[in-house]
Structure 1
Amino acid sequence: MRIMGLDIGEKTIGVALSDPLGWTAQGLTTLQRRGNLEEDISRIQELVEEYQVDKVVVGYPRNMDGSSGPQAARAENFAVLLKEKVKIPVILWDERLSTVAAERTLLEADLSRRKRKKVIDRVAAALILQGYLYYEEKRKK
């Protein structure tokens, strides 16, 4: 079962994929947002079909106190529209601090600012997806 993770930003969408067994997450790509939600979703649908994805995990940016703000509402809207288009399960997954963790990981890897900017969204998507995969593995035990 291959699972896709998404980190939805205002300018970019980080995309990650699990291995076919659903154990590990790897960053795949960063999509530049086109300002047209339908076009963004169509591009993700193409990736879902190309990689034979069975489920999509969308980062859900809650506030630190657990409440939902405007970013969370945008993620909810995106997830609803995506689910209608791809016809597979789409799950919202708490992504608090995923970008901070991605930045820290890339700093520890000693990547330049320019290189970090190019990969941070896909690393954040991989962290979101890996958190989901870990949770699902623990839940099965």
Structure 2
Amino acid sequence: MTRRVIALDIGAVRIGVAVSDPLGGFAQGLAVLSAKGDWLSELEKIISRYGSPKLLIGLPRRTDGSEGPEAERMRETERTIKERFPEIETEFWDERFTTTIAQRALLEADVSRAGRKKKVDEVAATLLLQSYLDSRNVTLS
């Protein structure tokens, strides 16, 4: 059994959270946290529920692959997470287009505007994590 991976799609308003299955093959949406509240306490509850998971943090890159101010904000957020949870391994993963793809998927599923707003961050985190898991599983096979 592999260690679970928890993905965070961190935005200015909401944080999408997804978790891998115990075997590390599939991502599942887990929650949407408020970025304005005490989301680190909520994250602590999630971490304790899944043992000592690896945290995958979405790193926003520009279309040319370079990093801008949002990427630096994620690196600062990762430092804050490491201060609070020094035992947790973290890794960045390219999150380009995950929110756009999530919005399209929810539109195609005919989810209402209010429903999309509530779910898009969780779906984006799930896409982010699935991309990571797929890349690992290709390498392993």
The offset of 1:52, in angstroms, is 2.1
1:31 to 21, 30, 33: 33
The offset of 1:41, in angstroms, is 2.4
Structure 2, unpaired ranges of 5+: none
Aligned to 1:125: 125
Identity of aligned residues (%): 45
The offset of 1:45, in angstroms, is 2.0
Tell me the TM-score normalized by structure 2: 0.92
Q: Matched residue pairs, number?
A: 138
Aligned to 1:67: 66
Aligned to 2:107: 107
Cα RMSD over matched residues? 1.3
Structure 1, unpaired ranges of 5+: none
Distance in 2 (CA, whole Å) between partners of 1:89 and 1:131 is 18
Alignment partner of 2:118: what SS?
Answer: helix
- 1:53–1:4 Cα change, 3 Å: farther
Aligned to 1:79: 78
Q: Deviations along 1:49-75, whole A, 9 cap, x unmatched? A: 122242010000001111111110111
Give structure 1 regions of 4+ aligned residues with deviation exceeding 4 angstroms: none
Aligned to 1:17: 19
